[in-house]
Structure 1
Amino acid sequence: MLSWEFSAADLALTRFAHSPLWEVVTSLQVLKEPGAHAVHLPWVRTARAALADVEFGLLSALVPVPSVAVPDFLTPVPAGYAPTLDEELAQLLATPPEQVRADLAGLDAPAALLADPAAGLERLAAEIRAYFAAALEPSWPRIRRLVEGEVLRRARQMSTGGPAALFADLHPRVAWADGTLRIAHRWYRAERRLDGGRGLVLVPAVFAWPGVWSQAEPPYRPGLVYPPAGVATLWESAPAAPAALAGVLGETRARLLAALGSPASTTELAARLGLSAPNASHHLTALTAAGLLARHRTGRTVLYLRTAVAEHWLTAGSLN
C-alpha cells in the first residue's frame, strides 16, 4: 500500500500528462504476457508481426514479466502535458551514470548498462525508437485520442465534484479519503507527503490496463499511472446501436451515439463506422444541435462526447 498525503497546494498543482515512454514500457509487458491483458490482443497480433525484424533486446531485459519494478530512469513522470518521444528520450539520455546505477540496484540489470551507462543509454534509446516506430506509431493517433478524452472527462468530474469525484473511480485499487490518496500495491508499502506544493501527475496509459503504477521515489516527480476509461473499445469496431434508438434517430446517428463511449474525433468516428468524414461531421453537428453531444477542442482536434441526455436515451433504448 502506498499512501500519499496531500496539502491544499498539492491538490491545486495536481495535473495530467501523457507519456510515450510509459506506453512503450507497458505495451512491452502486454506483448510478453498477453493473457493478462486480453483487451489488447488485436494489437498484440499486429505488433508481433511488425516487430519481427526489430532488435530491442536491451529494452526487453529492463522490462521483465512478471515484474515488480522497472528502472525509474526508463519511466519518468512527464514535466509537461504531452512530451514527444524525442523529448522523453533526451531526458533519458541525460540521466547521470550514478543515477542509472542507483535505479538498477537490486534488479537483474544487463552488465553492459552497469559498466558503461552512457553507451548503454544510447543503445536503449535507439531500441526504443525502433520499437515505437514499429509497434506504436501506427496506432498513436487512436491512443492519443483516447487519452485526451480521458483527461477531458476527468476535468469535468473534478469541476463538478472536486478531488473526491476525480479519484472516486480512477481505478479499483485507488482510494481517496481525508486528504490522502491510497494505492493498493501488492509488493510496495510506503507513506509519502507530496511536500506541500509538488502536486501529483496523473498519467493515463492505455497499455497499463488492468494495473496501476506509481512513481514515488526521489529524485523523480511523483506520478500515478493508470488505464483510461474506454480501453476495452480501443481496438474494437463501433458497437451496434439499440434498435429502439435507431428507430427514432436513424441508424447512423444512433450508431454514432453508441460509438462515443469515450470522446472521439470526427476522423476517428468516420473510420470506425465506415463513413466519409463529411457525412460523419454532418450527423455529429445535428446531434450536437439537439443537445445529445458536446464539443471540446484539444489543440487542433475537436472531440465529441455524449451529454447526460444522450446517456439516458442510450440506457433506455438498451432496456427496450
Structure 2
Amino acid sequence: MRAVVAFTADDVARARFAVSPSWQVVTSFRMLARTSTPAPFRTWVEHLRPAVRAAGLDRGWLAELVPTYGYLADLLTPCPPPSGPPDLTAELDVVRATDPDRVRLELDMLAAERAPLDPRRVVALRREPARVLVDVAAEVRAYWDLALAPHWSRIHAVLDADLLHRARQVAEQGTGAVLNELHGTVRWDEGSLHLVRRHCEITRDGTGHGLVLLPNVFVGDAVLTRAVPPEPPQLSYPARGAGTIWGAPEPDRPEALAGVLGRTRTTILRRLDAPASTTALAHELGLSPAGVSGHLTAMRDAGLVRAARDGRAVLYTRTEAADALLST
C-alpha cells in the first residue's frame, strides 16, 4: 500500500522536529505486548513485564486503546507544542480535553479492526468521554512512572541527539534530503511525501499546515503516522541510536582504534551516542572534568566531536567522521 501526500512550499517551511513523551508511551507499551522483542530491548522488557502485570496495566485502558498491531487511538498522541521542553503533563491535559465526537470516531476505527477487549469500557468511554478520559490519563501517567521515567534521561538524550543530527542535515542539505533519509518507506519527491507499505492512512484533508516529525526510541523498524484535523500531520520514525540506551554495542576493533586515539578518547567517543556535557562525561567515566575537557577540545579540533550550547550547558556529540571510525 502506498500513500502520496502533497505538500505546499508553506507546509515544507513549517515542517519541524519535536520530542513527544506520549509517542514513547504508546510505542513502548506496544513493544511490551508483542511476543517478539528487538535484542537491545529484551532486558528492559523482561524486567518490566512482571511489574506491568502486577499493576494491572496490561489489561487496562492502554491495552484497550493500543492494540499490538494496526491502528492505535490517535487521542493518546496529541501534537506537541512548537516550543518548550517535552512535557507529558501538558500532553495529558490535551488527552483529557479530547472532543467527544473524536473519541467516538476513534473507538469506531478501533472496533473496525478488532473486537474490543472489554465492551463495558468502550460503552463507558462512548457515553462519558470527559469523565473516563481522566482515568485514561491517570493510567498513562502510572505506566510512564513505572516504565519510562526511570530511563527518561537516557531516552531523552537519544531523541535530542537525533534532533541535532537532523537539524544539521536540514542546514546542510535541506528538508527534502532529510525526509529521504528518515526511513526506507519514506520518500520526498517534487512536493509530495511518498509512504509505502502503510497500514494507516495519512491525509492532508482538513489538517493544519506543516508536518511534525518525531524521533521514536520504541517504534522499531517502522514509521507511524497521525492525521487528526485541524492539527498538522505527524510522522514518528526510528531515532538514531535507539538500541544504545540499554548498552552501546562494542566497536568491532576497539583495541585498534584505541591504539590510534588512545583508550580514553576512544571511550569518550563511544559514550557520545547521545549529547553529553563535560561534567556528565567526567562523572560517568570517573575522570576529572579538566581532563575530559582537554580530550574533547582535541577531538573537536580534529573534527571528531562538535559542541552545541543548550541553555547554560555545552553538549558534545560525535561527528559523522567519528561515526565512521567507530564502525570500521
TM-score class normalised by the smaller sequence: 0.7 to 0.9
For 1:167-206, what aligned pairs fall within 5 Å after superposition?
A: 167-189=179-201, 192=204, 198-206=209-217
In 1: Cα distance, 2:211 partner to 2:202 partner: 16
Q: Name the SS of the counterpart of 2:199 in structure 1.
A: coil
Query: What is the Cα deviation at residue 182 of structure 1?
Result: 1.2
Change (3 A) 1:53 1:285: farther
Query: What is the Cα deviation at residue 188 of structure 1?
Result: 3.5
State the AA in 2 paired with 1:23.
Q
Question: Which of 215, 230, 235 is matched with 1:219 structurally?
Answer: 230
| Structure 2: gaps (5+ residues) | 117-121
Question: Which of 231, 241, 244 is matched with 1:230 structurally?
Answer: 241
Deviations 1:77-125 (A, max 9, x none): 2133444111001111111222211221132352221222112101111
Query: What is the Cα deviation at residue 64 of structure 1?
Result: 1.1
In 1: Cα distance, 2:320 partner to 2:39 partner: 30
In 2: Cα distance, 1:300 partner to 1:29 partner: 37
* Corresponding residue number in structure 1 for 2:255: 243
Query: What is the Cα deviation at residue 135 of structure 1?
Result: 0.5
Change (3 A) 1:277 1:4: farther
State the AA in 2 paired with 1:156.
R
* Corresponding residue number in structure 2 for 1:64: 67
In 2: Cα distance, 1:193 partner to 1:299 partner: 38
In 1: Cα distance, 2:320 partner to 2:23 partner: 33
Question: Which of 307, 310, 313 is matched with 1:295 structurally?
Answer: 307
Structure 1 residue 78 corresponds to structure 2 residue 90:
no
- Kindly report the root-mean-square deviation, in angstroms, between the aligned alpha carbons of the 2 structures: 2.6
Structure 1 residue 145 corresponds to structure 2 residue 145:
no
Q: Name the SS of the counterpart of 1:106 in structure 2.
A: helix
State the AA in 2 paired with 1:242.
P
* Corresponding residue number in structure 1 for 2:147: 135
For 1:96-115, what aligned pairs fall within 5 Å after superposition?
A: 96-108=99-111, 110-115=122-127
Change (3 A) 1:146 1:268: farther
Task: Give the TM-score of the pair, scaled to structure 1.
Answer: 0.87
For 1:243-282, what aligned pairs fall within 5 Å after superposition?
A: 243-266=255-278, 269=281, 274-276=285-287, 278=289, 280-282=292-294
Question: Which of 166, 172, 190 is matched with 1:154 structurally?
Answer: 166
1:215–1:222: 8 Å Cα contact kept in structure 2?
yes
Query: What is the Cα deviation at residue 257 of structure 1?
Result: 1.9
2:66–2:72: 8 Å Cα contact kept in structure 1?
yes
* Corresponding residue number in structure 1 for 2:17: 16
Query: What is the Cα deviation at residue 176 of structure 1?
Result: 1.0
In 2: Cα distance, 1:15 partner to 1:133 partner: 28
Query: What is the Cα deviation at residue 313 of structure 1?
Result: 4.4
Report sequence identity in percent: 42
State the AA in 2 paired with 1:145.
A
Q: Name the SS of the counterpart of 1:10 in structure 2.
A: helix
Q: Name the SS of the counterpart of 2:309 in structure 1.
A: strand
| Structure 1: gaps (5+ residues) | none
Change (3 A) 1:309 1:209: closer
1:174–1:184: 8 Å Cα contact kept in structure 2?
yes
State the AA in 2 paired with 1:75.
T
Query: What is the Cα deviation at residue 280 of structure 1?
Result: 4.0
How many equivalent residue pairs? 313
In 2: Cα distance, 1:299 partner to 1:30 partner: 34
Deviations 1:204-244 (A, max 9, x none): 11111221111124234311111111112221146246323
In 1: Cα distance, 2:109 partner to 2:205 partner: 25
Deviations 1:51-71 (A, max 9, x none): 354233112211111x21111
State the AA in 1 paired with 2:38.
H
Q: Name the SS of the counterpart of 2:22 in structure 1.
A: helix
In 2: Cα distance, 1:98 partner to 1:288 partner: 54
* Corresponding residue number in structure 2 for 1:44: 45
